[in-house]
Amino acid sequence: MQTVSASASLTSNYAPGSLLSVNQLPVADVSAILSETARVASLAHAERTAILRGRTIALLFYESSTRTRTSFELAAKSLGATTTLVSDKSSSIEKGESLKDTGLTLRALGAECIILRHSSSGAPYVLARETGLPVLNAGDGMHEHPSQALLDLRTILTRLQGAAKAAAVNERSLDGVTVTITGDIFHSRVARSNAMLLPRLGARVLLCGPPRLLPEDALGLGPRIEIERDFDRALVQSQVVMMLRIQKERLSGMELNLADYIGRYQLNGERLLTYAPSALVLHPGPMIRGLEISDDVADGPQSAIEEQVTHGLATRSALLARALNAGSFKGSNK
Amino acid sequence: MSDILILNGRLIDPANQTDAHRDLLLRGGRVAAVEAPGQLGSVQAAKTIDAAGLIVAPGLVDVHVHLREPGQTYKETITTGTAAAAAGGYTSVVAMPNTVPVNDTVEKLQWMLDDERGSVIKLFAMPAATIGSMGERLTDFEALRRQGAVGFTDDGKPVLEDHIMRAALIAAARAEVPVSQHAEDTRLTGGCSMNAGPMAFRLGLRGMPVEAEARIVERDIQLLREIERSEGLRPHLHVQHVSTARAIHEIQQAKREGLHVTCEIAPHHFALNEEAVGEYNTHAKMNPPLRAEEDRLQMIRALVDGVADCIATDHAPHAVFEKKQEFERAPNGITGLETALGLALRVLHRERGVSLTRIVELMSTTPATIPSLAGRGSLGVGHYADVVVFDATEEWAFRVDDSRSKSRNTPFDGSPMLGKVRYTICEGRIVYQE
């Protein structure tokens, strides 16, 4: 409608190869990323390190991170790229430099791609617009964590359908698969990215959690998303269950009775055996053992938590090749 | 100043129930004559404007602008802000007090209204209701009123404490001016940067609930009721930038009850909804935020049916570097003085069939009465020669690079507008000419 269109969409202002939101990826692009992920994972060391040899990638981290930062850094290095890490705690960011200026500085130093982790939703859009560089969103506030959703997808496909089926997808690849995401949905960028990506490949997503952590507004994320507040009822229907951490740092005054929460929503051995004895268990980390997940489940045979981390490395390698127009993406960027 | 004749125009002056072809003579800063076409043929004037095919109306009045002076002149100055106003057809604006320092004393008010500031049009001001707009102690309403205050407000923030708001309403009633309230229960909006709802959820932004606005409006109306009963006073509450159907409903009830409540609606709240936030467009970030489509439609209905009294821009300039930030960090507000008439004519007049008379009423006649700007908002003989002459049919696109404001923060760059200002005349001086 004319009256509500403000300035024209800014989508064209992002460099090709940027990944700011899973919604920017048509299914064909998701498939191409999976295919490149599988290919990179199978390459010998020498071939792999040739992919981004001589290229420079900056990691810009405004929030603490273990696995995402290390994963992106190792992924870049495994492809032969030079990396530099800038974190808010040890840089001019502490002196008040703006995101735009930090980005322009990194660009002037030769960065060809910036991987950004930021506590503010939408920050990667600012960086991508202002630098014109491909930007990979490594988690922005409560908004999205697209590389996590892609590695979760690869993990699900590999475990449910075998490695051979994890190298390509279409709109029906996850037909008949129900994925339950349980916990602090409101504060979770992982939940948002997965809930917006997986249904486009045929999955049904059940969101589970108390109203404070899972408002009805979540249904607006997209089609084939439902809310099921009873965890046991959700589990019975699920082939995949993804557990989320309570994000204490983002609760901002919200009160939560942890004992009650554990009673209703913890994934423990007994609950899993009773309601979902063959479901795949995922967790994006960091886990708080004894809170949202019990030891026996985290370390048990249904858990793919470590595999997620391994798949993350390969998936992020593919995203970097894509961002820098390399690997099988060479010459494919419009 | 020299005489100006405006001939052959269609005069729309709701205060005098006029919508007819009339010729005007402006002399000595006042309207000297309003006559049927041809009657002023023998008058010699230094300047004659042929307004054939154009609308002649009382100059527009904006009861809610931020001119950023003193203290933030990198965003706007009184000169640049009022030049933008003149280009938008405005001849009177009311400056909000959230300058640096806050306009909360007679000295600061005098400084702001001094001719040396270089206002291009007539400048009025609403000083702070509380010292420093801290919400704790009232400013000196009587003294400020004597120096020209046309109302009191802590705009940008609400007057949150019940007893302070009660005291402010009583003091303002005695001074016979309104308290202009930014209705936001800030206890519900901490960390929020857009409207609450599915869109905010998807963007991972904390949302301002509708209740945050409605609750303060309800509370203030309750205070009016209680003060009328116990004090025998009749305070005037003016609700700023109403954005929700809930608040409109409360205001409608209060008006039916006979309480003295007026309200304003900003052009962006009838022209845009929250979808304009798009991919974290900080030019769609303001407070109150752009709301859901149902709310937008309700704002239009309120402007049509009279529940809303006027259109006010909440012109809020910010520098480019301030808006080119993370969405949650970027300041609230957009410029609005040069796009208000073009949006009102396009969205309300053409798309919704609102009459030109009603548009003039919403943008001049009524806003002049809310803070009692004597002699403004009407073109009766003897009133100030504050006139806007515009072509109500010209379609154009607003270009931010052409703006007279010092700032560029608008979501309407490139947007279609209807109706182009040809002349703005303030107290008999041409202050803008296309």
Every domain of chain B and the residues it spans: 59-375
Three-class SS state of B408: coil
**Mean pLDDT confidence for B310-318:** 98
Number of separate helices (H) and strands (E) present in chain B: 13, 17
A253 band by pLDDT with thresholds 50, 70 and 90: low
Nearest CA distance, B178 vs chain A (angstrom): 33
**What is d(CA A37, CA A33) in angstroms, rounded to the nearest whole number?**
6
Q: Please tell me the CATH code under which domain B59-375 is placed.
A: 3.20.20.140
**Alpha-carbon gap, residue B403 to B89, rounded angstroms:** 13
Both tokens of A208, joined, read 């589970």
Cis, peptide link before residue B101, omega less than 30° from 0: yes
A186, closest residue in chain B (CA to CA): B201
A79 to chain B, closest Cα gap in Å: 31
Residue A2 scores a pLDDT above 50: no
A48 touches chain B (CB under 8 A): no
- Residues from chain A contacting residue B323 (CB–CB below 8 Å): none
Asked if A163 has any chain B CB less than 8 Å from its own CB, the reply is no
Query: What integer best gives the mean pLDDT of chain B?
Result: 97
Contact assessment for residue B35 and residue B373, using Cβ atoms and an 8 Å cutoff: no
- The residue of chain B nearest to residue A220, with distances taken between CA atoms, is B198
Three-state secondary structure of B56-86 = EEECEEEEEECCCCCCCCCCCCHHHHHHHHH
Round to whole Å and give the CA distance between A100 and A125: 11
As given in the structure block, the two tokens for residue A24 are: 């920017």
A326 contacts A52 by C-beta, under 8 angstroms: yes
Does any CB of chain A come closer than 8 Å to the CB of residue B399? no
Residues of A within 8 A of B198 (CB-CB) are 217, 219-221
**Cα dihedral: B279, B282, B284, B290 (round 10):** 90
Q: Are B419 and B390 in contact (CB under 8 A)?
A: yes
Which residue in the block uniquely carries the two structure tokens 């202050």? Answer: B431
Q: What SS3 class is residue B91? A: strand
3-state secondary structure chain A: CHHHCCCCCCHHHCCCCCECCHHHCCHHHHHHHHHHHHHHHHCCHHHHHHCCCCCEEEEEECCCCCHHHHHHHHHHHHCCCEEEEEEHHHCHHHHCCCHHHHHHHHHHCCCCEEEEEECCCCHHHHHHHHHCCCEEEEEECCCECHHHHHHHHHHHHHHHHCHHHHHCCCCCCCCCCEEEEECCCCCCHHHHHHHHHHHHHCCEEEEECCCCCCCHHHHHHCCCEEECCCHHHHHHCCCEEEECCCCHHHCCCCCCCHHHHHHHHCECHHHHHHHCCCCEEECCCCCCECCCECHHHHCCCCECHHHHHHHHHHHHHHHHHHHCCCHHHCCCCC
- The residues of B carrying an active-site annotation are 314
B172-197 pLDDT, tens per residue?
999 999 999 999 999 999 999 999 99
Closest CB to A142: pick one of B204, B296, B325: B204
Lowest mean pLDDT among A62-71, A99-108, B161-170: A62-71
The SS3 of residue B37 is coil
Residues near A156 by beta carbon (within 8 Å), at least 6 away in sequence: A174, A177, A179, A198, A240, A280, A282
Name the helix (H) or strand (E) containing B33: strand B30-35
> Can you tell me the mean pLDDT for B255-259?
97
Helix or strand holding residue B417 (H, E): strand B416-426
Quick check: B191 contacting A, CB < 8 Å?
Answer: yes
Average pLDDT for B115-139: 98
Residue with tokens 């959700």: A234
Q: Look at residues B339, B313, B323 and name the one whose alpha carbon lies nearest to residue B88.
A: B339
CA A8 to chain centroid: 28
pLDDT of B391-424, one tens digit each? 999 999 999 999 999 999 999 999 999 999 999 9
Query: Which residue is closest to B284 within chain A, CA to CA?
Result: A6
CB contact under 8 A, B351 and A123: no
Domains of chain A from N-terminus onward: 9-145+311-328 (3.40.50.1370), 146-307 (3.40.50.1370)
B398 touches chain A (CB under 8 A): no
Q: CA dist B378 to B9, B28, B89, B342, B385, Å?
A: 16, 16, 14, 21, 9
Note whether A3 contacts B203, CB cutoff 8 Å. no
Measured between CB atoms, which of A121, A144, A196 is closest to B328? A121
Average pLDDT over residues B362-388: 98
Rounded Cα distance between B91 and B186, Å, is 34
Instruction: Locate the chain A residue with the closest alpha carbon to B273.
Output: A4
d(CA B53, CA B8): 8
Tell me the C-alpha distance between B370 and A87, whole Å.
53
Q: Which residues of B touch A186 (CB under 8 A)?
A: 201
Query: CB A7 to CB B203 under 8 A?
Result: no
Degrees, nearest 5: CA angle B399-B91-B238 = 100
In total, the C-beta contacts within 8 angstroms joining chain A to chain B are 109
Taking the model in full, what pTM does it have?
A: 0.95
Pairing mode, strands B55-58 and B4-13: parallel
Reported confidence tier of residue A12, pLDDT bands at 50, 70, 90 = low
Q: Is the dihedral of CA B129, B133, B135, B136 positive or negative?
A: negative
Which of A40 and A88 is assigned the larger pLDDT?
Answer: A40
A-chain CB neighbours of B203 within 8 Å are 121-122, 143
Among residues B376, B375, B372, B374, which one has the least CA distance to residue B177?
Answer: B372
Residues of chain B positioned with their CB less than 8 A from the CB of A20: 279
> Which two tokens mark A221?
């994320």
Q: CB B200 to CB A217 under 8 A?
A: yes
For B10-62, the pLDDT digits (tens) are: 999 999 999 999 999 999 999 999 999 999 988 999 999 999 999 999 999 99
Q: Tell me the pLDDT tens digit for each residue of A160-215.
A: 999 999 999 999 999 999 999 999 999 999 999 999 999 999 999 999 999 999 99
- Compare all CA atoms of chain B with the CA of A9 and give the residue at the minimum distance: B278
Comparing CA positions, the residue from A95, A99, A134 lying closest to residue A115 is A134
**B138 at the A interface (CB within 8 A)?**
no
The tens digit of pLDDT for each residue in A269-295 reads 999 999 999 999 999 999 999 999 999
Q: For A122, which of B199, B273, B280 is closest by C-beta distance?
A: B280
